[in-house]
């Protein structure tokens, strides 16, 4: 009886471990390659960290450096190349500007919408909410072309605006926040009205603070999606490298026929995902603590 | 100072008529309770007074002012909610400051960081803090001021919510079942506290509850509501002693009044259990209901022939000071509840047959439609059954 139970537990863990390995493997490879020299990557040797023997950068020699000057530890070589080959810091900055702007405007639009849909009584509310649900079903790629054409017509391609504007209204955000606001007791809103708050103050001073956990969930969703987005920046940023977002930066290392740039490419990838992971770790605690609604019930 | 006068208030929610023409005058400084079973429209009426809901027709007047269309916050009323509705992210002090800040500070002065340095802000802040401190002292919640609602017990949240209402010194307090979320002991305790507070503040309280005991214990006057109408408005003792109709009689009083089938003969004399009550009313012969409260009946010292009916004991409800006997009459076709001294009931057992007599006060007679019928020649021939 007890043994059967243990075997069952064992299976569960086996399946979970397998799943974890499948998810983690690409990250493992990314991190490992970012440490290794091109030779080690080619021959697939050196374990996780590589041997970290001094390697010689052939290009540096070709340009005229002495062999001593052109010798590096592979890890140093990869990460310095990541920053020198492309203006990675500039890309990271662009990424921050774009994702934060998108998230901020999304919140400014979604919260009042969600409040109205959840708590105000007006004609056609159900219809509007139906439209919100309908919009959830439209895939981005389906409307990418018309969006691009519209932006091109008003001459906004190759600008921050082109990267930000199409995402400012997040139906998912409206839906998520509306569902959360539904759980906020009506009494709380009435109390705020009695105290003299306007409807907009209620949104920002009462609903927003109680909705922090939901807002964090939405923030993670939104920031991750737009930080990692390759599709849309690739479409609207055609020439100006100054506007590249981090994922576009990765392309800088592609197309080298000799394939010797895997190391720096993976170093770049590592640098790009690190901020997300750090942000998630920081947010995680707030996520769990949250502000509960217990004060109201 | 300020009477609150409602006239012909009607309200419907999608076809369903929730309030059917309410007329009500709430006197300055009184503790008026709106009491009735849930769903009868009490909260809706209170919310209309508060300005949180708009009536379909009728008017609300506070003092000299017609307040229809006036924002809730501009009516100078404060409300205490059943769920307390404290802002969960603010401390008790900040909760209590909020209505004052919104009322007394200008938009610029309310700005975060900057606002407090604007001319006049410091003085106002000081007055506001003082008001909060005074209220906290009255309610004995000073040690809780720095806590957030999540760190308070139910009773403490209740006080904080009261405090938030009190700091504004409103014309009237509106309370919607404020004690419902407390445990039984605290609820009874808070009744006294609310009464004390009412006396101390000398302000108008409009109190909504479905609990007739709360209404009886605290009110100056109570309005019994059912089905969107006020059935009776009077002092608790008069409503208890003299309900206007059968529904009020049934709602007020615990345990419930005994409602027994009776009859009227052609001369208007009342019969109960086939016996004549020696009282008459002027009404056509019909089926009537005779209402007798449990304390109007007795089983002690009822001589043979003096009883109104004999009945079998079905169960005891022992409250310590009193015992309520639940009796069955006519093989269980009717039931009776009788209040008794514990001593008098001590020797009784389940199934015993007892004689039930009328103790004091008169029976109440309701016609077939449930309206009260009054006796013609009150009390002069009333028999005194010892
Ligand atoms: N916002 C609303 N929309 C629709 N029906 C409502 C609304 N508020 C109250 N009602 C209905 O009005 C009736 C009276 O409600 P309420 O005033 O809350 O009763 P009470 O407080 O006496 O229990 C109920 O039948 C309720 O379903
Ligand atoms: Mg109610």
Per-residue pLDDT tens digits for B52-103: 999 999 999 999 899 998 999 999 999 999 999 999 999 999 999 999 999 8
pLDDT at B190: 92
List ligand 1's pocket residues with C-beta within 6 A.
Answer: B 13, 18, 36, 38-44
- Is the residue at A59 inside a domain? no
Residue A229's CB: how many other CB atoms inside 10 A? 21
Residue A185 lies in a domain: yes
Number of domains in chain A: 1
Domain holding A161: CATH number?
1.10.3720.10
Residue A187: closest C-alpha in chain B: B85
Q: Do A194 and B77 touch (CB under 8 A)?
A: yes
Name the residue with the closest Cα to ligand 1, atom 6.
Answer: B13
Question: Could you tell me which residue, A166 or A251, shows the higher pLDDT?
Answer: A166
Q: What confidence score (pLDDT) does residue A21 get?
A: 93
**Span A171-189, mean pLDDT?**
93
The closest-lying atom of ligand 1 relative to the alpha carbon of residue B46 is 17
Range of the domain at A243: 87-253
- How much is the pLDDT for B331? 81
Q: What is the mean pLDDT of residues A272-286?
A: 83
Architecture of domain B4-241: 3-Layer(aba) Sandwich (3.40)
Query: Sorting pLDDT into bands at 50, 70 and 90, what band is B106?
Result: confident
Cβ distance B88 to A293 less than 8 Å, yes or no, reads yes
Q: How many beta carbons lie within 10 A of that of residue B64, not counting itself?
A: 7
Those residues whose C-beta lies under 8 Å from the C-beta of residue A127, and which sit 6 or more positions away, are none
Mean per-residue pLDDT for B17-45?
95
Residues 6 or more apart whose Cβ sits within 8 Å of residue B53 = B11, B44, B47
Q: How confident is the model at residue B382 (pLDDT cuts 50, 70, 90)?
A: very low
- pLDDT number for residue A69: 76
A103 within domain boundaries: yes
Q: Looking at residue B245, what is its pLDDT?
A: 93
Percent of residues, chain B, with pLDDT higher than 70: 97
Give CA–CA dist A46/A40, Å, rounded. Answer: 6
* Class of domain B255-373 as given by CATH: mainly beta
Does any CB of chain B come closer than 8 Å to the CB of residue A187? yes
Torsion angle of the four alpha carbons A94, A95, A100, A105, in this order, in degrees rounded to the nearest 10: 80
Which B residues in the span 133-162 are in contact with A, Cβ-Cβ below 8 Å?
A: 148-150, 152, 157
pLDDT band at residue A37 using 50, 70 and 90 as cut-offs: confident
Cβ of A194 within 8 Å of Cβ of B72? The answer is: yes
> Which residues on adjacent β-strands are paired with residue B317?
B324
Q: What is the interface pTM, i.e. ipTM, of the complex?
A: 0.86
Nearest bound ligand to the CA of residue B12:
1
Return the exposure string of B131-156: e unless at least 16 CB atoms fall within 10 Å of the residue's CB, then b: bbeebbeebebeebbebbbbebeebb
Chain B residue with CA closest to A188: the answer is B85
Q: Does the structure show a pLDDT above 90 at A96?
A: yes
Dihedral over alpha carbons A263, A267, A272, A275 (to 10 degrees): 160
Report, as an integer, the average pLDDT of B226-251: 94
Question: Where do the structural domains in chain B lie, given as residue ranges?
Answer: 4-241, 255-373
Per-residue confidence (pLDDT) for residue A141, from 0 to 100:
86
- Mean pLDDT, chain B, as a whole number? 89
Question: Does a structural domain hold residue A62?
Answer: no
End-to-end CA distance of chain A: 44
Q: Which residues of B touch A206 (CB under 8 A)?
A: 87
What integer is the mean pLDDT of A51-68?
76
pLDDT at B373: 87
Task: List the residue whose alpha carbon is closest to atom 9 of ligand 1.
Answer: B44
> Cα separation of A160 and A146, whole Å?
18
Strand B204-209 to strand B31-35: parallel, antiparallel, or no bridges (unpaired)?
parallel
Q: Where is average pLDDT lowest: B39-43, B212-216, B273-277?
A: B273-277
More confident residue, B79 or A286: B79
- Let me know if residue A215 belongs to a domain: yes
Report yes or no: A218 and B97 within 8 Å, Cβ to Cβ: no
Give pLDDT, residue A250: 81
Using CB atoms, pick whichever of B52, B78, B85 lies closest to residue A188: B85
**Residue A223 domain-assigned?**
yes
Question: A185 at the B interface (CB within 8 A)?
Answer: yes
Instruction: Quote the pLDDT of residue A49.
Output: 82
Is A68 among the domain residues?
no
Nearest neighbour of A295 by CB, restricted to B73, B77, B149: B149
Residue A137 forms part of a structural domain: yes
User: Measured in angstroms, how far is the CA atom of residue B47 from the centroid of ligand 2?
Assistant: 10
Distance linking the first and last C-alpha atoms of chain B = 50
Residue to test with chain B: of A121, A193, A194, most B Cβ within 10 A: A194
Query: Which pLDDT belongs to residue B360?
Result: 57
């Amino acid at each position: 009886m007890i043994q059967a139970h243990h075997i069952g537990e064992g299976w569960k863990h086996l399946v979970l471990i397998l799943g974890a390995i499948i998810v983690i493997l690409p990250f493992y490879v990314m991190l490992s390659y970012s440490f290794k020299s091109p030779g080690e990557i080619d021959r697939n040797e050196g374990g996780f960290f590589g041997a970290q023997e001094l390697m010689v950068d052939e290009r540096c020699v070709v340009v005229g450096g002495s062999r001593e000057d052109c010798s590096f530890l592979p890890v140093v070589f990869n990460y310095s190349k990541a920053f020198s080959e492309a203006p990675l810091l500039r890309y990271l900055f662009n990424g921050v500007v774009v994702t934060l702007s998108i998230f901020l405007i999304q919140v400014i639009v979604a919260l009042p919408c969600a409040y109205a849909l959840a708590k105000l009584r007006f004609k056609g509310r159900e219809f509007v909410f139906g439209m919100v649900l309908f919009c959830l079903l439209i895939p981005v790629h389906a409307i990418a072309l018309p969006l691009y054409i519209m932006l091109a017509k008003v001459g906004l391609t190759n600008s921050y605006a082109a990267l930000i504007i199409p995402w400012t209204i997040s139906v998912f955000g409206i839906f998520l926040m509306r569902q959360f606001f539904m759980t906020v007791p009506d009494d709380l809103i009435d109390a705020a009205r009695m105290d003299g708050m306007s409807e907009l103050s209620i949104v920002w001073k009462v609903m927003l603070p109680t909705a922090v956990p939901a807002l964090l969930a939405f923030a993670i969703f939104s920031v991750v999606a737009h930080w990692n987005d390759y599709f849309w920046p690739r479409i609207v940023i055609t020439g100006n490298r100054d506007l590249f977002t981090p994922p576009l930066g990765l392309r800088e290392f592609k197309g080298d026929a000799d394939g010797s740039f895997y190391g720096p490419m993976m170093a770049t990838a590592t640098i790009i995902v690190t901020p997300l992971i750090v942000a998630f770790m920081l947010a995680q605690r707030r996520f769990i603590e949250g502000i509960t609604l217990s004060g109201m019930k | 100072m300020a009477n609150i006068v409602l006239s012909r208030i009607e309200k419907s929610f999608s076809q369903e008529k929730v309030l059917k023409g309410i007329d009500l005058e709430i006197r300055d400084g009184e503790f008026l309770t709106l009491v009735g079973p849930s769903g009868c429209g009490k909260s809706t009426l209170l919310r209309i007074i508060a300005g949180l809901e708009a009536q379909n027709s009728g008017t609300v007047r506070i003092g000299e002012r017609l307040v229809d269309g006036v924002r809730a916050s501009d009516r100078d009323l404060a409300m205490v909610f059943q769920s307390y509705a404290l802002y969960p992210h603010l401390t008790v002090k900040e909760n209590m400051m909020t209505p004052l800040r919104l009322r007394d500070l200008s938009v610029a002065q309310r700005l975060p960081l900057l606002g407090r340095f604007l001319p006049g802000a410091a003085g106002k802040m000081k007055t506001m803090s003082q008001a909060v401190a005074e209220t906290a002292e009255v309610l004995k919640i000073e040690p809780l001021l720095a806590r957030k609602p999540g760190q308070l017990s139910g009773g403490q949240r209740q006080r904080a919510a009261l405090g938030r209402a009190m700091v504004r010194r409103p014309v009237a307090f509106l309370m919607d079942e404020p004690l419902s979320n407390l445990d039984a002991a605290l609820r009874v305790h808070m009744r006294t506290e609310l009464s004390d507070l009412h006396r101390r503040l000398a302000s108008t309280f409009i109190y909504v509850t479905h609990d007739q005991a709360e209404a009886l214990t605290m009110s100056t006057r109570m309005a019994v509501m059912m089905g969107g109408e006020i059935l009776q408005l009077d002092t608790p003792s008069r409503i208890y002693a003299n309900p206007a109709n059968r529904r009020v009689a049934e709602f007020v009083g615990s345990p419930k009044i005994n409602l027994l089938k009776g009859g009227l003969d052609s001369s208007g004399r009342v019969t109960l259990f086939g016996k004549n009550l020696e009282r008459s009313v002027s009404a056509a012969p019909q089926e009537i209901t005779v209402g007798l409260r449990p304390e109007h009946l007795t089983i002690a010292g009822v001589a043979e022939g003096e009883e109104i009916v004999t009945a079998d004991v079905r169960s005891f409800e022992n409250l310590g000071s009193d015992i309520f006997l639940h009796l069955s009459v006519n093989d269980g076709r009717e039931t009776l509840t009788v209040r008794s001294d514990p001593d008098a009931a001590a020797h009784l057992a389940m199934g015993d047959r007892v004689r039930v007599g009328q103790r004091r006060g008169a029976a109440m007679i309701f016609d077939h439609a449930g309206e009260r019928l009054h006796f013609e020649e009150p009390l002069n021939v009333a028999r005194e059954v010892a």
